[in-house]
Structure 1
Amino acid sequence: MFKVLSVLLLIVLLNLSKAENDAKPIVIWHGMGDTCCAAGSMGYIKKHLEKKLNVYVHSLRIGDNVEQDFLNSYFMNCNDQIDYACNLIKNDSKLKDGFNLLGFSQGGQFVRALVQRCDNITVYNLITFGAQHQGVYGLPRCPGENETICNLVRKLLSYGAYTDFVQRHVVQAQYWHSPVEEEEYVKKSLFLADINNERLPRKQIYKERLLRLKSFVMVSFRDDTIVDPIITELFGYYKPNQAKIVQILQDTTLYTEDWLGLKELDESNRLKMYTVPGNHLHITMDWFDSEIINKYLR
């Protein structure tokens, strides 16, 4: 009897070990003002994933060094960043058989763009944390009770955001989304309007590539003071032609007409949404382990 139990225990341990070793490599992309390897952010996440899963983790560095990576998060054209990251991934032999993809803050919409635009790669799960999928329309920590000042700042930013020079050289302008100037946004946005498939004719390949995902996971932060509106982290946004009332993803035309395949992902139970307490990117590692690593990365 003891020998039988020992054999069964050995089988269980071997299967557990195999399950962990079967975890896919991971690619991560940092947000604005961060870098690939900062000890307190992406460097920590990278080491944590490596330790928990015993997998290869590639933290994307956009540029020849960390300093360039930092500056490029503000001033490098988003489309050029996607091309750069795509080449990094294609030239990494450890990723050739597929990987999971995680994006933090603005890195969230960037990793989604990678899935949609980068050919000949295999992404299993796409996971974003505090991403601005429908863009932003407000300043961090803008005093919300002073509506007059906030609206003035928004109008000034909107005026500047869609000028050619600003669009080409300021990253955050490239996902600035004015709900009261929808036509100008769709016409002049060099990045967000394209990856959200808001122009005609729609790019069917964007939809096809997102539908290849095993899961598309979005994590939003309930008390976020950086992203405005917060609901953009779950692909919702303001109702058109005003900037007060927001709507969830499922009420947007992007969803109902399924420009990106999000409706199909949702109906097949592959679109996952989480809202966690805390400010921007403030999550506990216990939650990260139980809800992200254990459910999507093992």
Structure 2
Amino acid sequence: MAALREAAAAALLLSLGCAAAAVPLVIWHGMGDSCCNPQSMGYIKKIVEAKIPGIYVLSLKIGSNLIQDMENSFFMNVNDQVREVCSQLAKDPRLKGGYNAMGFSQGGQFLRAVAQRCPSPPMFNLISVGGQHQGVYGFPRCPGESSHICDWIRKMLDLGAYTQAVQEHLVQAEYWHDPLKEEDYRKNSIFLADINQERGINETYKKNLMALKKFVMVKFLNDTMVDPPISEWFGYYKSGQAKETIPLKETLLYTELQGQLEEHQKPARTAPLLQRRNDSMGITAGGTLSCKCSRALCSRATPPTRFTLNLLPRSCQLTAQGSS
């Protein structure tokens, strides 16, 4: 994962709001990464700490060391990981007043599960950078050092993604969403189908998700890690085939969760769906990042489609730059 991608994503978080005291930041890395990689999460942590003096940044580690943390991103039951994180957050006195959260790749949907299941301490804002909120149906490119693991994962998914053994011991199976086997997915997915409330509305999840002030989703238009990339915006394949994709508002999930998702598209909260043309994001010398807001999904009637997100803490809002 490129360092610039993570660094630019930090700009998104810093644009969410200003406060007299810096709000703590919790970040969760993606597949094959670790909490403290100096080229990814460690770099993000350093940038945020340098730009916002006194801020507390917690980069989540699942396991007793970095090797375990990386391995757990492949092999530890996601529900157990979420419980572990909820416990970490609840025990941390520096988070008792609340925090902002940013998840990268699979860390995006994992932190959404934290928001839905563990309201204390409160999560104020959630930014998902390339998170697969409708799941995946393929792994086109895996992190370089983990390619052999990904080859094994593909074999396991082909053999039986929704068997109990695979579901409980393979992280990627827990958000594997086979559009050709929707009933199997809804019945047997032990993580994603649950947090997406696909077996019935969970009023606790609904209440907790709607308590977020802002929920921002960033999609990379040329993403080579996620298949299909539209999952990063809650879109997915049309049921029954794996070629045509449909946007969020045309999915059955949107119909079922309409109130929860529409709440986060109100102008007062945020324009939640941002995109970049490339596979990664970059920051200008002045510390700003340009993103595009989907014209179809922005909350304003005639929305500008480009926004500048300032890395510096004094910039509190998304700043419209005009359509493009």
Could you state the TM-score of these two structures normalised by the residue count of structure 1?
0.83
Deviation string 1:73-119 (CA, Å, 9 cap, x unpaired) is 00000000000011111111111001100000010000100000113
Counterpart code for 1:249: L
Q: For residue 261 of structure 2, what is the aligned residue in structure 1?
A: 262
Partner of 2:309: 291
Letter of the 2:123 counterpart: V
CA contact (8 A) 1:131 1:233 kept: yes
Amino acid at match of 2:281: I
Q: Which amino acid aligns with 1:59?
A: S
**Structure 1 CA distance, aligned partners of 2:240 and 2:179?**
5
User: 1:124-273 maps to which residues of 2 (within 5 A)?
Assistant: 124-141=124-141, 157-200=157-200, 202-258=201-257, 261-267=260-266, 269-270=268-269, 272-273=272-273
Give the corresponding residue for 1:40. 39
Please name the residue that 1:77 is paired with. Answer: 77
Cα deviation, residue 256, structure 1: 2.3
Kindly indicate whether residue 141 of structure 2 is the aligned counterpart of residue 123 of structure 1. Answer: no
Percent sequence identity over aligned pairs: 51
Look at both structures and tell me which one has the larger radius of gyration over its CA atoms: 1
How has the CA–CA distance of structure 1 residues 46 and 135 changed in structure 2, closer, same or farther, with 3 Å as cutoff?
Answer: same
Match of 1:12? none
Unaligned runs of 5+ in 1: 1-18, 143-152
Task: Select the structure with the greater relative contact order (CA < 8 A; seq sep ≥ 6).
Answer: 2
1: CA distance between counterparts of 2:52 and 2:202? 36
Task: Check 1:194–1:296 CA distance in 2 against 1; reply closer, same or farther (3 A cut).
Answer: farther
Distance 1:20 1:259, change over 3 A: closer
Aligned to 1:250, the other structure's residue is in SS state helix
Change in CA separation of 1:180 and 1:255 when aligned onto 2, cut-off 3 Å:
same
CA shift at 1:254, angstroms?
A: 1.8
**Partner Cα separation in structure 2 for residue 210 and residue 163 of structure 1:** 29
Alpha-carbon RMSD: 2.3
Are 2:91 and 1:67 equivalent residues in the alignment?
A: no
CA distance in 2, matches of 1:221, 1:204: 31
Deviates more, 1:208-217 or 1:263-272: 263-272
* Aligned residues between the structures: 266
Structure 1 or 2: larger helix share?
Answer: 1
Deviations 1:130-182 (A, max 9, x none): 1010000013149xxxxxxxxxx989835521111111001001100001100
Q: Which runs of 5+ in 2 are unaligned?
A: 1-17, 143-152, 291-307, 319-324
Q: Is the 8 A contact 1:207 1:259 kept in 2?
A: no
Which residue does the alignment assign to 1:275? 275
Q: Distance in 2 between matches of 1:245 and 1:48?
A: 39
User: Matches of 1:154 and 1:164 in 2, distance apart?
Assistant: 17
Relative to structure 1, is the Cα distance of residues 94 and 119 closer, same or farther in structure 2, using a 3 angstrom cutoff? Answer: same
C-alpha contact 2:237 2:246 (8 A) present in aligned 1? yes
Aligned to 1:16: none
Cα deviation per residue 1:192-232 (whole Å; 9 max; x = unaligned)? 000000003x2111111111111000001111111000000
* Change in 2 beyond 3 A, CA 1:222/1:292: farther
Q: Which residue of 2 aligns with 1:10?
A: none
Paired amino acid for 2:116: Q
Secondary structure in 2 matching 1:291: strand
Rounded to whole Å, the distance in 2 between the matches of 1:180 and 1:265 is 30
**Is the contact between residue 206 and residue 260 of structure 1 (CA under 8 Å) also seen in structure 2?**
no
Partner of 2:10: none
Give the distance between the partners of 2:289 and 2:25, measured in 1 at CA. Answer: 15
Structure 2 counterpart of 1:283, one-letter code: M
**Taking structure 1 as reference, are residues 138 and 109 closer, same or farther at Cα in structure 2, changes over 3 Å only?**
same
- For the 8 Å contact 2:132–2:234, the answer to whether it is kept is yes
On the 8 A contact 2:264/2:272 being kept in 1, the answer is no
User: How big is each residue's C-alpha offset from its partner over 1:1-52, in whole Å with a ceiling of 9 and x where there is no partner?
Assistant: xxxxxxxxxxxxxxxxxx5643311000000000000100000001111111
- CA separation of 1:213 and 1:101: change in aligned 2, threshold 3 A: same
Deviation at 1:263, TM superposition (A): 1.9
- Separation in structure 2 between the aligned mates of residue 25 and residue 264 of structure 1, nearest angstrom: 24
Whole-angstrom distance in 2 between the partners of 1:258 and 1:239: 17
User: Equivalents in 2 of 1:61, 1:288: separation in Å?
Assistant: 28
Change (3 A) 1:260 1:22: same
